[in-house]
Amino acid sequence: MTLLTDLADPRSKRSKSAHKIAACVVANPEAVLSATTAALAASAGVSEPTVNRFCTGLGYKGFPDFKLALAAELARKQPRMTRNIEANDSVGAVVAKIFESTQASLGGTLEQLDLAALQDVVAALANARSIIFCGLGASASVAIDAQHKFLRFHTPVASHTDIINQRMVATGLDPQDCIVCISYSGRTHAMVELAELAATSGCHVVGITAPGSPLANACTLALSVENDEDTDVYTPMTSRIAQLVILDILATCLALQQGEAFSDHLRRVKYNLRLTRRQ
């Protein structure tokens, strides 16, 4: 993601023409792949050698080399959208398709992740008196995973995967608490009701769910995880992976925010786990 991000960055020092070319590339990267220096020069309103200098200036051997890097960049950003798994696929094909669709799903989630909302959630978690993770069905394991990740912090953390317990806890929330509701569809009755119940306490209700879903609307803060409508019975559950990665990001951002003193704490945690290991 470095190339396109760098090109899109307006504060990088570049000559006037270089900016024009960068804008052209960012605006339509796919078109550049099939363009010649002359074509790109024309659409950027500069001369051909300027395009070449632009490429060499970025550290590439020339325009063709730059195009190769761009093609690689785009491929990384948008992995092949795998067609559905067929009943007569070989094991190798199934493996490849599941890996690819997972990678594609991750790419899609990254694309649509709202950084501002993410920062708000990190702030809410950082200032929380206690953190509760809730999930049902497939999202139950995500909630448990989140709890494990957040055990590293000093904030009291719990996960609940039972609707009775979830409601009990949600009833007693403090405005300084933070509850995280995890749901793939964002349409599970019990989860939406839980979020609504939790919101009455005035605490932060974070949703990690499908954008625009009832659950997302019931939350005070929502992080989008694209819901790619797994209509097929064999479709792998890629969105769960995206939820886990988002929780990983939250935990990492929180750890970074705590500063150097906290790194020592993490190292101590690691050290104390050492004795459970062989060698």
Site residues (vs DNA, CB under 7 A)? 15-18, 36-38, 45-50, 52-53, 55-56, 61-65
- The residue among 48 and 114 lying less far from DNA, judged by its C-beta, is 48
- Residues 97/80, Cβ–Cβ less than 8 Å: no
Cα–Cα distance for residue pair 101/189, rounded to 1 Å: 28
Interaction between residue 158 and a copy of itself (CB under 8 A):
no
Interaction between residue 84 and a copy of itself (CB under 8 A):
no
Q: Which of residues 14-53 bind a copy of itself (CB under 8 A)?
A: 33-34
Stretch that binds a copy of itself, among 43-51, 124-132, 173-181, 255-263 (CB under 8 A): 255-263
Interaction between residue 261 and a copy of itself (CB under 8 A):
no
Among 48, 65, 196, 226, contact with a copy of itself (rule: CB under 8 A): 65
Q: Which two tokens stand for residue 79?
A: 């992995």
- Residue 36 CB, nearest approach to DNA (Å): 3
Cα–Cα distance for residue pair 60/54, rounded to 1 Å: 9
x-or-dash string of contact with a copy of itself, 174-203, rule CB under 8 A: -----------x-xxxx-x-----------
Sequence-ordered list of residues with C-beta below 8 angstroms from that of 29, at least 6 positions apart, any chain: 4, 70, 73, 74
Residues in the interface with a copy of itself (CB under 8 A) total 82
Among 145, 181, 203, 221, contact with a copy of itself (rule: CB under 8 A): 145
- The residue among 14 and 79 lying less far from a copy of itself, judged by its C-beta, is 79
- The residue among 17 and 110 lying less far from a copy of itself, judged by its C-beta, is 110
- Residue 175 CB, nearest approach to a copy of itself (Å): 25
Interaction between residue 211 and a copy of itself (CB under 8 A):
no
- Residue 63 CB, nearest approach to DNA (Å): 4
- Residues 182/243, Cβ–Cβ less than 8 Å: yes
Strands 157-160 and 178-182: unpaired
Secondary structure (DSSP) of 28-68: -HHHHHT--HHHHHHHHTS-HHHHHHHHHHTT-SSHHHHHH
Q: Which H, E and C letters describe 68-104, residue by residue?
A: HHHHHHHHHHCCCCCCCCCCCCCHHHHHHHHHHHHHH
**Residue 189, number of CB atoms within 10 A of its CB:** 10
